[in-house]
């Protein structure tokens, strides 16, 4: 026996011991001897099936399904069937084991769950997305057995924990997909701990320097934070002990991702994030006493001892979150002058908060449906009305993963959870599909409002209907929820297909008159001329008559402008980063664009020299040399650069990861790029002239526009600049920050402008 054989045997024995530990440490995994035996049998089968296989890290592959099974058992609290399915979740996809084999040994439940976790095979057409198709399959399986998604989240968590061994371009794609879909999914299912870790790990790989900077600051302040928490915890302990409460006090700091997001959204430094500290009081409910009343008793003790922040009381006991979360939150002032959030929960509430869906099953009363059941029901309805295009369905599902909710009341006083931004028409569809189809308006708080009226939390809504009312396609502009969009689209899907067929026929006849046929080049020119995102949309609008082909001759001969560049110009004016005619493409260039292939390899070096520049800057986020970027190769094989944290880029990495390439700048200071900085501070005479003088004296910067406003002695300013790279911009910011009266100066990231991002999503369909 060779040394390698001995090493493999040792590793397999370690794996075997880990499975035994899972069984021993989780009573739900060994309710009876049969469960324990089935788990051991699942391990042996998986171990044999994966024999000789290794992960990118070099570790034996079997350690991955074991790690997933451990998360399922210990962190999600699931039982033997889930552990068995986790151990076997990759055998059908990666080995010769079939679903029939699994069903014969472990039964139909395990086979169904593993099937749901197995990726689709085969080749899809160019417009399809393997990621989106597989995600739709995953959700279809979740409807049959929700354990599918819980095991998938465990699988994703372990993959994120071991992501360091993957190539850089895959790290970006997997991290973005995790942040865009799987972390919100964990949140929606109430898995707070998993959601938080997924977010932090995603940030670690997408923005490693920023992640580490925040982690270092938290570590540096650890002693101070502990002292602040103890100064609050000690008096609370004394009062709770005195009245006989059984409790546990836990301290935590805000997650790194949450801190980073708040810094970006509010444009503030780490030191100005005031709600970093939090403390949790978890009590054992006294027998025969109301849990809700006991929460308020603890709240009363806390607020007797410390002054609460009036606008920070959150009552999720009277109205639990849609993911089942229950707690009282308040923020109090510590003796040292620091705000600290205090969360008050019973042991039952705490288990639901940490383990989410698994605990939801455990504490479910009399089979009564709650918000999680309603959410899963809404996913089933979405799938029944699903778009044939997997990317459209992917977008619709993302809409359903809303983070912020509000309570809307029916005329009878029943409360319904809706995403913030929902309209009266959304509410009608939420109640019942037919109510939505015949809705003509609504009475909101007894006042008549139109279909498009945006609801506010606490509104009482009565839907007004008419049998004569028929749905209209423009209703899609009035709704925001996935359910409403799916219902409207389903009604018009057949009609749309007919229009698409008619449109293609009309275009074919018009081209035949000119002895032409439909080609990629012609479609590309027509899509750009008529500002549509896909050939189906082009055919649809032609068939419906929205697009007239009377001017097709001009369209076929016109030099068309790249859509993203056009939006850039409409928003900012023409950028000096390209020559005046560089956006116009000749027929020969269009032919080349239609036929050229994806860049070879997954890492592109970007040069800004005019003779080698083969990329377009995305106007949604305006990356400049030095920024962390990724490149998306669109359907026309145009390489579009996005800042890595741009929401559009995150969506693309999540749904079209096969078209994402890693990109790195190689700046030679040939071209300048548009950037925006924001300033704020105390106004004084000559301040503006001092700031503009610093800019004008910098040979690496050109000003495009300056705007300052002053009110009650405080000024705000916005400056648009043409600049070579991020380093030059940072040096300029440091100089301006030294000007007397300037309190804050930072780069403005348009990807954080919600209104602009909404407009961009309308113009750019990927």
Which tens digits make up the pLDDT trace of 397-408? Answer: 665 565 467 889
Which two three-digit tokens encode residue 331? 């923020």
The DSSP bridge partners found for residue 315 are 328
716 φ, ψ (degrees, to nearest 5): -130, 150
Distances (CA, A) of 279 to 221, 233, 250, 311, 353: 16, 8, 6, 18, 15
Q: Say which residue, 219 or 724, is predicted with more confidence.
A: 219
Contact 303, 296 (CB under 8 A): no
Contact 313, 343 (CB under 8 A): no
Homologous superfamily assigned to 218-363: Beta Polymerase, domain 2 (3.30.460.10)
Contact 263, 210 (CB under 8 A): no
Distances (CA, A) of 525 to 560, 589, 765: 7, 11, 17
For residues 39-60, average pLDDT: 88
Predicted local confidence at residue 31, as pLDDT: 67
CA distance 504 to 497: 11
CA distance 239 to 225: 22
For residues 534-544, average pLDDT: 88
For residues 688-695, average pLDDT: 91
Distances (CA, A) of 244 to 238, 337, 385: 10, 30, 55
List the single range of 271-275, 360-364, 458-462, 627-631 with lowest mean pLDDT.
360-364
Q: Which residue has the tokens 């074991």?
A: 66
Distances (CA, A) of 183 to 107, 177, 327, 429: 31, 9, 21, 27
Q: Where are the domains of the chain?
A: 3-212, 218-363, 490-557, 576-670, 673-756
H or E stretch covering 664: strand 660-666
Q: How confident is the model at residue 594 (pLDDT cuts 50, 70, 90)?
A: very low
* pLDDT for 584 beyond 60: no
* pLDDT for 438 beyond 50: yes
- CATH fold of 673-756 reads Alpha-Beta Plaits (3.30.70)
pTM of the entire predicted model: 0.71
For residues 302-331, average pLDDT: 89
DSSP 3-64: HHHHHHHHHHHHHHHHHHHHHHH-GGGGSSHHHHHHHHHHHHHHHHHTTT-B-TTSSBTTHH
Predicted local confidence at residue 562, as pLDDT: 47
CA distance 223 to 229: 10
CA distance 568 to 19: 56
383-428 residue pLDDT tens: 665 555 555 666 666 655 654 678 899 998 888 888 888 999 999 9
CA distance 96 to 91: 7
709-725 residue pLDDT tens: 988 888 999 999 988 88
Helices 208-220 and 256-266: angle between axes, nearest 10 degrees: 110
78-104 residue pLDDT tens: 888 999 999 999 999 888 899 999 999
What order of strands is seen across the sheet that includes strand 742-747? 701-711, 714-723, 673-682, 742-747
* pLDDT for 284 beyond 90: yes
598-616 residue pLDDT tens: 554 456 777 655 444 567 8
Q: Which residue from 322, 326, 222, 324 is spatially nearest to 282, judged by alpha carbons?
A: 326
Helices 108-117 and 99-106: angle between axes, nearest 10 degrees: 150
The answer to whether the Cα torsion of 351, 352, 356, 359 is positive or negative is: positive
3 state SS of 443: strand
Q: Is 134 exposed, middle or buried (0-12, 13-18, 19+ CB in 10 A)?
A: middle
| Catalytic residue list | 93-94
- The per-residue pLDDT of the chain, averaged, comes to 81
H or E stretch covering 81: helix 80-87
Predicted local confidence at residue 569, as pLDDT: 42
CATH code for 3-212? 1.10.3210.10
């Amino acid at each position: 026996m060779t040394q390698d054989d001995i090493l493999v045997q040792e590793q397999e024995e370690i794996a075997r011991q880990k499975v035994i530990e899972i069984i021993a440490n989780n009573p739900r995994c060994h309710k009876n001897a049969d469960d324990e035996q089935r788990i051991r049998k699942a391990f042996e089968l998986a171990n044999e099936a994966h024999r000789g296989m290794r992960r990118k890290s070099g570790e034996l592959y079997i350690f991955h399904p074991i790690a997933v099974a451990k998360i399922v058992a210990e962190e999600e609290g699931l039982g033997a069937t889930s552990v068995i399915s986790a151990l076997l979740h990759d055998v059908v996809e990666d080995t010769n084991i079939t679903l029939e084999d699994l069903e014969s040994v472990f039964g139909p439940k395990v086979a169904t769950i593993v099937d749901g976790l197995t990726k689709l095979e085969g080749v899809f057409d160019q417009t399809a997305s393997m990621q989106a198709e597989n995600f739709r399959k995953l959700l279809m399986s979740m409807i049959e057995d929700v354990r599918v998604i819980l095991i998938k989240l465990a699988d994703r968590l372990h993959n994120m924990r071991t992501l360091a061994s993957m190539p850089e371009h895959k790290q970006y794609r997997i991290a973005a997909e995790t942040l865009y879909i799987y972390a919100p999914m964990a949140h929606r299912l109430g898995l707070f701990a998993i959601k938080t870790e997924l977010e932090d790990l995603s940030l670690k790989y997408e923005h490693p320097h920023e992640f580490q900077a925040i982690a270092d600051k938290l570590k540096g302040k650890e002693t101070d934070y502990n002292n602040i928490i103890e100064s609050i915890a000690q008096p609370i302990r004394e009062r709770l002990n005195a009245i006989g409460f059984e409790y546990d006090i836990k301290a935590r700091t805000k997650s790194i991702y949450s801190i980073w997001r708040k810094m970006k959204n509010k444009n503030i430094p780490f030191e100005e994030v005031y709600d970093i500290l939090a403390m949790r009081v978890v009590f054992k409910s006294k027998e025969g006493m109301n849990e809700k009343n006991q929460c308020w008793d603890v709240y009363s003790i806390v607020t007797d001892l410390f002054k609460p922040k009036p606008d920070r009381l959150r009552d999720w006991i009277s109205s639990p979150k849609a993911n089942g979360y229950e707690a009282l939150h308040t923020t109090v002032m510590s003796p040292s002058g620091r705000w600290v959030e205090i969360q008050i929960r019973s042991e039952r509430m705490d288990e639901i908060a940490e383990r989410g869906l698994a605990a939801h099953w455990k504490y479910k009363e009399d089979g009564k449906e709650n918000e999680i059941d309603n959410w899963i029901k809404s996913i089933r309805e979405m799938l029944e009305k699903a778009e044939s295009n997997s990317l459209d369905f992917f977008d619709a599902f993302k809409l359903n993963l809303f983070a912020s909710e509000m309570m809307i009341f029916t005329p009878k006083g029943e409360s319904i959870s809706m995403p913030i931004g929902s309209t009266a028409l959304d509410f009608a569809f939420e109640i019942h599909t037919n109510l939505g189809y015949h809705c003509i308006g609504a009475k909101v708080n007894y006042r008549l409002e139109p279909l498009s009226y945006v609801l506010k939390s606490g509104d009482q809504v009565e839907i007004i209907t008419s049998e004569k009312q028929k749905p209209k396609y423009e209703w899609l502009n009035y709704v925001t929820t996935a359910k409403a969009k799916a219902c409207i689209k389903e009604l018009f899907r057949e009609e749309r297909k007919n229009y698409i067929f008619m449109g293609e026929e009309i275009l074919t006849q018009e081209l035949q008159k000119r002895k032409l046929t439909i080609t990629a080049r012609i479609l590309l020119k027509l899509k750009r001329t008529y500002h549509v995102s896909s050939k189906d949309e082009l055919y649809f609008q032609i068939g419906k008559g929205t697009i007239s082909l009377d001017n097709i001759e001009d369209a076929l001969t016109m030099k068309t402008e790249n859509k993203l560049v056009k939006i850039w110009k409409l928003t900012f004016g023409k950028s000096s980063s390209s020559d005046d005619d560089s956006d116009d493409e000749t027929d020969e260039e269009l032919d080349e664009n239609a036929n050229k292939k994806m860049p070879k390899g997954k890492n592109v070096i970007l040069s800004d020299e005019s003779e080698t520049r083969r990329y377009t800057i995305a106007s949604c986020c305006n990356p400049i040399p030095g920024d962390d970027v990724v490149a998306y190769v669109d359907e026309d094989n145009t390489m579009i650069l996005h800042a890595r944290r741009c929401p559009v880029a995150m969506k693309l990495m999540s749904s079209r990861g096969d078209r994402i390439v890693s990109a790195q700048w190689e700046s030679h200071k040939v071209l300048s790029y548009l950037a925006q900085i924001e300033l704020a501070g105390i106004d004084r005479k000559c301040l503006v002239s001092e700031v503009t003088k610093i800019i004008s004296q910098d040979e690496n910067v050109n000003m495009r526009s300056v705007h300052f406003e002053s009110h009650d002695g405080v000024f705000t300013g916005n400056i648009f600049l043409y600049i070579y790279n991020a380093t030059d911009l940072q040096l300029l910011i440091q100089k301006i920050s030294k000007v007397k009266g300037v309190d804050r100066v930072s780069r403005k990231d348009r990807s954080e402008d919600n209104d602009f991002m909404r407009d961009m999503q309308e113009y750019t369909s990927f």
